[in-house]
A and B are shown apart, each in its own frame.
Chain A
């Protein structure tokens, strides 16, 4: 399996533009390439800005979702490359699992690696998992698996069934109400580099078939973890399914319930009850 080591983070805007211009003529199986970056450190000012937007306390430990900011450009580079079988515009992030194997210090130099696997058949298309690891000194400290759905796409012959649902227990009582403002997408785009137009404004979202701008799923996930600050195990898995889009602005509720030494969580629309995110947090 060939691994390409990048010297710096690729430009997200350029990758997204390239992906938009090369949607045609894609197909076949997943590439077996891996992209990597070595010795990557989080900029303290960037981390502080990210923490503020996601309501994490500013600490010397990285929030569970923070390494995703470092691996995400590599994933987009992989997906925007012509060898990737699915067109990036139109891919929907439907599930994200992160494993924190041990607390990661904010000043640790991380070796990152990303690849694609598990091309799977879904009732409305096909899914693919973008995997990532972060290691120090040769041992993994953090892993993630982001499942994307391509509607209307076809998985190769003999592909496994897609696995996009995360079962949770009863989550009746809201723990918090969040007013998610109109500019939530722009604010998260600024600190995460995820400048996908569907998050930035109503106008740009409409161009991609959404009635209004939608919140980043990873921002919702980060805010859930932020709301549970101080109540998480040192090593844990946080596995969430992104359900219906969270249109901006919205008022949503967070529900939490203790389960198996961790938590079950749900983020729903405060008025309609529409599920935006459900997930589990379990100690490792």
Chain B
């Protein structure tokens, strides 16, 4: 087997993200992922080409979409002989997909691949309730008229209300925002600093659009050319008028303005070996250097649901001989503004870093001017599985623009108390 090599990030593509039940209300996950793949194909001349593999996933999936990524490949302009598989790690899906593709490239098992993700909260997989589902299975298995009548007799009108997927943790019954609110309170994250982070995200992303930064990262879809959650004129004054939606009482700080909305969208990233890219005259924006996942016990262990990246980071930094300050850009996924701020605060906290992370000294603070410089999820929106691909492509381009030898850090929190972090380098 060959020695390992670092996978190159050639480029990315996504469709503009759309707030739930807006521009993409009629689009399925497969529609959006296929369109996103085709945009990438067009950008890098991959029409009819067979790639090593395509890896993608969705968090909210219809049961008929069991082979979502392969079906999307078959409907795309890629060669039908390109293999594909689905992954799902909640909001970590997109970044995890990129890590999986990068690892195969690194091991020499493939020369090129696409990593992506997609989610829709508009075309959501409504399910029949458990009672009705069992009654229908019974009806399906019935062989005689008598058995069928008996099975039909078990159906009650009250069972006909469908079950919508809930943005809640199955084991705790709490919405992700409720979990984040607990963490915000524990870390004493203020309302104003959350609103400031949200304003900065909108302004950074609007500025990036205006200077054409997203021209080769985004392909218009269904009449949308920019993320429709983006508010360039967002201001502290406006955000401060919003009422809290998560948390309780006086101490509640989390609003619809400093939390991500439900969003539809898809993203994809093209990864390859340097040789593969060079042979096709394609650029290498950055390399995926390393990655790490972690998980926390948010159910019975007392840790915050979205705090796992805090634990993943020191492991990855130590393995690479780096400190938290050795980076030119930081991409910390803005699930909620308070999540970003709690993450940073935890890394600055000497007691926490010693007791929970087992470190002699805290990881320390970062230069906030290097954080989410082209906007993040508060501005773009957050179609769960599509966020990783957006961030990887965006950071790779940011590093490439800054010149060779620049380092970037990604941190993404995910449902189930998980977190994924990664290092990119131009």
Which residues from B are CB-within-8-Å of A173? Answer: 302
Tell which of A76-84, A100-108, A124-132, A176-184 binds the partner: A176-184
Which residues from A are CB-within-8-Å of B172? Answer: 175-177
User: 0/1 per residue, B152-171, Cβ < 8 Å to A?
Assistant: 00000000000000000001
Instruction: Contact check, B173 vs A179: say whether CB atoms are below 8 A apart.
Output: yes
Q: Which residue of B lies closest to A227 (CB)?
A: B171
Which chain A residues (216-241) contact chain B, with CB distance < 8 Å?
A: 227-228, 231
Among A176, A227, A228, A258, find the residue whose CB has the most chain B CB atoms closer than 10 A.
A176
User: What's the Cα separation between A223 and B130 when bound, in Å?
Assistant: 18
Instruction: Contact check, B171 vs A176: say whether CB atoms are below 8 A apart.
Output: yes
B42 interface contact, C-beta 8 A: no
Instruction: Contact check, A176 vs B299: say whether CB atoms are below 8 A apart.
Output: yes
Instruction: Contact check, B173 vs A256: say whether CB atoms are below 8 A apart.
Output: no
Which residues from A are CB-within-8-Å of B302? Answer: 173
Which residues from A are CB-within-8-Å of B174? Answer: 176-177
B280 interface contact, C-beta 8 A: no
User: 0/1 per residue, B171-189, Cβ < 8 Å to A?
Assistant: 1111000000000000000
A127 to chain B, nearest CB (A): 32
B300 interface contact, C-beta 8 A: yes
Which chain A residues (171-223) contact chain B, with CB distance < 8 Å?
A: 173, 175-179
User: 0/1 per residue, B285-317, Cβ < 8 Å to A?
Assistant: 000000000000001101000000000000000
B115 to chain A, nearest CB (A): 32
User: What's the Cα separation between A227 and B170 when bound, in Å?
Assistant: 11
Among A173, A175, A263, find the residue whose CB has the most chain B CB atoms closer than 10 A.
A175
User: What's the Cα separation between A177 and B179 when bound, in Å?
Assistant: 11
Q: Which residue of B lies closest to A49 (CB)?
A: B134
A210 to chain B, nearest CB (A): 24
- In the complex, the number of residue pairs spanning A and B with C-beta atoms less than 8 Å apart equals 22
Instruction: Contact check, B300 vs A178: say whether CB atoms are below 8 A apart.
Output: no
Which residues from A are CB-within-8-Å of B299? Answer: 175-176, 227
Which residues from A are CB-within-8-Å of B130? Answer: 52
Which residues from B are CB-within-8-Å of A179? Answer: 173
Q: Which residue of B lies closest to A270 (CB)?
A: B173
User: What's the Cα separation between A176 and B173 when bound, in Å?
Assistant: 6
Which residues from A are CB-within-8-Å of B300? Answer: 175, 228, 231, 256, 258, 263
Which chain A residues (142-183) contact chain B, with CB distance < 8 Å?
A: 173, 175-179
A232 to chain B, nearest CB (A): 11
User: What's the Cα separation between A175 and B171 when bound, in Å?
Assistant: 8
User: What's the Cα separation between A178 and B172 when bound, in Å?
Assistant: 8
Which residues from B are CB-within-8-Å of A175? Answer: 172, 299-300
User: What's the Cα separation between A175 and B305 when bound, in Å?
Assistant: 11
Which chain B residues (123-146) contact chain A, with CB distance < 8 Å?
A: 130
B301 to chain A, nearest CB (A): 9
User: What's the Cα separation between A258 and B301 when bound, in Å?
Assistant: 9
Assess A178 versus B171: contact at CB under 8 Å? Given A173-B302, A256-B300.
Answer: no
User: What's the Cα separation between A256 and B301 when bound, in Å?
Assistant: 9
Q: Which residue of B lies closest to A253 (CB)?
A: B173
User: What's the Cα separation between A219 and B302 when bound, in Å?
Assistant: 25
User: What's the Cα separation between A177 and B173 when bound, in Å?
Assistant: 5
User: 0/1 per residue, A231-270, Cβ < 8 Å to B?
Assistant: 1000000000000000000000000101000010000000
User: What's the Cα separation between A173 and B173 when bound, in Å?
Assistant: 14
User: What's the Cα separation between A263 and B299 when bound, in Å?
Assistant: 13
B84 to chain A, nearest CB (A): 32
User: 0/1 per residue, B194-217, Cβ < 8 Å to A?
Assistant: 000000000000000000000000
Which residues from B are CB-within-8-Å of A256? Answer: 300
Among A52, A177, A227, find the residue whose CB has the most chain B CB atoms closer than 10 A.
A177
User: What's the Cα separation between A178 and B300 when bound, in Å?
Assistant: 15
User: What's the Cα separation between A44 and B162 when bound, in Å?
Assistant: 29
Q: Which residue of B lies closest to A256 (CB)?
A: B300
A30 to chain B, nearest CB (A): 40
User: What's the Cα separation between A172 and B8 when bound, in Å?
Assistant: 49
Q: Which residue of B lies closest to A263 (CB)?
A: B300
Which residues from B are CB-within-8-Å of A176? Answer: 171-174, 299
A150 to chain B, nearest CB (A): 36
User: What's the Cα separation between A280 and B335 when bound, in Å?
Assistant: 37
User: What's the Cα separation between A256 and B302 when bound, in Å?
Assistant: 9
A40 to chain B, nearest CB (A): 27
A45 to chain B, nearest CB (A): 12
B130 to chain A, nearest CB (A): 8
Which residues from B are CB-within-8-Å of A231? Answer: 300
User: What's the Cα separation between A176 and B179 when bound, in Å?
Assistant: 10
A3 to chain B, nearest CB (A): 41
Which residues from B are CB-within-8-Å of A177? Answer: 172-174
User: What's the Cα separation between A173 and B130 when bound, in Å?
Assistant: 31
Known: A52-B130, A176-B173, A263-B300. 17 other contacts (CB 8 A): A173-B302, A175-B172, A175-B299, A175-B300, A176-B171, A176-B172, A176-B299, A177-B172, A177-B173, A177-B174, A178-B173, A179-B173, A227-B299, A228-B300, A231-B300, A256-B300, A258-B300
Could you jot down 22 A-B contacts, CB within 8 Å? A52-B130, A173-B302, A175-B172, A175-B299, A175-B300, A176-B171, A176-B172, A176-B173, A176-B174, A176-B299, A177-B172, A177-B173, A177-B174, A178-B173, A179-B173, A227-B171, A227-B299, A228-B300, A231-B300, A256-B300, A258-B300, A263-B300
